[in-house]
Amino acid sequence: MATRHDIRNAFSLPVNGQGGSGNPLYVGLGGYSTIQAALNAAQEGETVFVQPGTYIENLVVTTDYVTIVGAQVSGYGRPDIVAEAGGPALTVTAQGFVARGCRFVTEDDDAVVQEGNGFRYEDCVFDGGNSEAVTDALVRLKGNADDDSFTASEGVIVGCLFRGSLGFGLLFDTGDAPNNGVGCTDDVVRDCRFYGNTAADIATADTGGGVYSAKNCIIEFNVFAAPKNKATWIDFTTSNGGAASDQTGCIAGNYFNDDNIDATAVAMVGTGFCFVGNYDTVGVQDGSGLD
């Protein structure tokens, strides 16, 4: 078996370079035995490299600017982070968090709860479980109940796969007190794939009783696949007590596996959203039929 030294040299694994001591932390192959132990030891700006394998954990990230990287073999072999019963696989209450090349699996809750700002998920897989509630999500973006500056805003989700949720794929949610009234702003969802999610693939929620769930969000170049002609792909109809124009964004360049995108398949409140250059099985849709 390769030693820790061999793995470090063989892959030439980079450090994230966002500050801190710059020392990578390793999980598996002579490093930390759990991801949480490495996260607990990580300082701001440090990177945790996780070897392929299955990790049954409910991870909590509280340190700013920490990165988790799946140390893939031959371009594949993501580590599987599977939630223990009764909680998400990952909860982030810190800013500047990054996850690359990881798989997050839920059992009976959300798979990931993101509360801190400035996050990035890249080349990750989010999988559903057999005991999810219909209100659960693979990724829930929401405000932190203890810090009203954390609203899961200014984040990027790129090149990821959302599949098999008994609830939702991605939810923009209002935060609990003191963040009730504040939703997510300036988030980008790009180049992702959604399929097999029972409810809407992307939607808003209102667990905090707020004014809006999402503002200035960008949803672009994604593929909304199976099943064909789904009842609702995107649902932004939850205005949460505020004006309809409080929820705003741009939905552009996406593909929907649907013969006729209408106001049920893509549901939005008011005029705060633009819908341009999207495709269904017939051709380009300009959004005029969604008003």
DSSP state letters, 172-239: EEPPPTTSTT--EES-EEES-EEES-SS-SEEEE-SS--S-SEESEEEES-EE-SSTT-S-SEEE---
Distance CA 231, CA 229 (A): 6
**Which residues on neighbouring strands pair with residue 27, listed in sequence order?**
32, 50
Structural domain that includes position 120: 83-189+204-219+240-248
Q: Give this prediction's pTM.
A: 0.89
What are the structure tokens assigned to 27, written together?
A: 């999980």
In a domain, 197, yes or no: no
Q: Given this model, what pLDDT does residue 290 score?
A: 73
- Which residues fall within 8 angstroms of residue 12, CB to CB, at 6 or more apart? none
In a domain, 107, yes or no: yes
Nearest Cα neighbor of 36 from 90, 117, 98, 115 is: 90
In a domain, 110, yes or no: yes
Residue 291 CB-density burial (10 A; 0-12 exposed, 13-18 middle, 19+ buried): exposed
Nearest Cα neighbor of 112 from 138, 86, 81, 79 is: 138
The total of structural domains in the chain comes to 1
Eight-class DSSP state of 116:
S
In a domain, 263, yes or no: no
In a domain, 159, yes or no: yes
CA–CA–CA angle 126, 128, 131 (5° rounding): 150
φ, ψ (nearest 5 deg) of residue 68: -110, 125
pLDDT in tens, the chain (291 residues): 322 222 233 333 433 333 344 567 777 666 889 999 999 999 999 999 999 999 999 999 999 999 999 987 666 778 999 999 889 999 999 999 999 999 999 989 999 999 999 999 999 999 998 889 999 999 999 988 888 889 999 999 999 999 999 999 999 988 776 766 678 999 999 999 999 999 999 998 887 777 778 889 999 999 999 899 999 999 988 655 455 567 889 999 999 999 989 988 998 876 688 899 999 998 888 777 775
Distance CA 113, CA 217 (A): 18
In a domain, 109, yes or no: yes
In a domain, 214, yes or no: yes
Distance CA 166, CA 95 (A): 29
In the chain, what is the straight-line distance between the N-terminal and C-terminal CA atoms, in Å?
A: 61
In a domain, 134, yes or no: yes
Q: Given this model, what pLDDT does residue 213 score?
A: 84
What is the CB neighbour count within 10 angstroms for residue 231?
11
**pLDDT digit string, tens, across residues 99-146:** 999 999 998 999 999 999 999 999 999 999 888 999 999 999 998 888
